Structure 1
Amino acid sequence: MIEARRLHILRAVADHRTVTAAAAALYLTPSAVSQQLAALEQETGHRLVDRSARGARLTPAGEILLSHANAVLAQLERAESELAAYGSGEAGTVTVAAFATGIGLVVAPAIRALADAAPGIRVRVRDAEGDESLMMVLDRQVDVAVAVEYRGAPGEDDARLTRVPLYA
């Protein structure tokens, strides 16, 4: 299997045209770059770089691998970016349970506002009455419930729920 960090090294050698310049750009030693290129050549079974007194040049096999490396590395960068957005709360899915009127009066306007403020957040809405929606939160079927107070609801001192009054 080809290691992604070795593809970074191949790309740097192609961009900088010498092992020494590639090493400097990657904050590595020239020896480390040469070792990684040798390992990449062993992994692929092809000579990838021609070295001469004038620098380093990719072989035809190196050019083929570089074209794929650019696509692979771009996809890895997108994956890292999406994971970072998810980890910071800028992307992901939130599931909301609400009763029909609450969906129209509270959830729909909130989704519109959220689309502008946090375009990476996707919202799923489930139609559920208050007693059902709170249990869905407790059972982790949904993340948020829009509900009205009802007899038998968990009390305000129930630490499993955080209440935010929407209307006084």
Structure 2
Amino acid sequence: MIDARRLRTLRAVADHRTVTAAAAALYLTPSAVSQQLAALEQETGHHLLAREGRGVRLTAAGEILLGHADAVLAQLERAEADLAAYSAGAAGEVTVASFATGIALVLAPAIGLLAERAPGVRLKVLDAEGDASLPMVLDGRADLAVAVEYRGAPRADDA
């Protein structure tokens, strides 16, 4: 499997045209960059660089891999951004269990605000009465319940 860190190294060498300049841009030693490139050549089974004066140029195989590297690295950046948004609570799915009147009077107005303030959060609403919604939260089928107090509800001090 091709290592993404090595693809970043290939991108830096292509951009800077010397191992030394690429190393400086990546905060690595030239030796570390050379090792990364040698490992990448071994992973792919192709020579990726050719010496050109004091610098290097990509071979045809290197150019092909670089085109894929750009796509892979861009996708990895999107994945990291999506995970950061999820960690910050700005993306993901929230499941809410609620009785019908709660959906109409509480959730409907909140859905509009949620869409404005956190467009990456998807809301899933489940129609459930209080006696069904609280167990849904406890067993993980819902993240939140909108319910009214009912005769069989746990007491306020019930852990």
Shorter-normalised TM range: over 0.9
Which AA in structure 1 matches 2:149? E
1:6 aligned counterpart, secondary structure: helix
Which AA in structure 2 matches 1:37? L
Q: Distance in 2 between matches of 1:53 and 1:64?
A: 22
2:141 aligned counterpart, secondary structure: coil
Which AA in structure 2 matches 1:27? Y
Which AA in structure 2 matches 1:145? A
17-26 or 84-93: bigger deviation: 84-93
1:163 match: none
Is structure 2 residue 3 aligned with structure 1 residue 13? no
Kindly state the Cα deviation for residue 111 of structure 1 after the two structures are TM-superposed: 1.2
Gaps of 5+ in 1: 160-168
Q: Distance in 2 between matches of 1:62 and 1:158?
A: 64
1:24 aligned counterpart, secondary structure: helix
Q: How many residues align?
A: 159
1:23 match: 23
Residues 115-157 of structure 1 show CA distances to partners (whole Å, capped at 9, x for unaligned) of 1111111110000111111121122210111111111201111
2:123 match: 123
1:74 match: 74
Q: Distance in 2 between matches of 1:48 and 1:140?
A: 50
Task: State the TM-score, normalized to the length of structure 1.
Answer: 0.91
49-58 or 22-31: bigger deviation: 49-58
User: Identity of paired residues, percent?
Assistant: 77
Moved over 6 A (4+): none
Matches for 1:140-155 after TM superposition, within 5 Å: 140-155=140-155
C-alpha RMSD over aligned residues: 1.0
1:166 match: none
2:98 match: 98
Kindly state the Cα deviation for residue 35 of structure 1 after the two structures are TM-superposed: 0.9
2:89 match: 89
Q: Distance in 2 between matches of 1:110 and 1:50?
A: 60
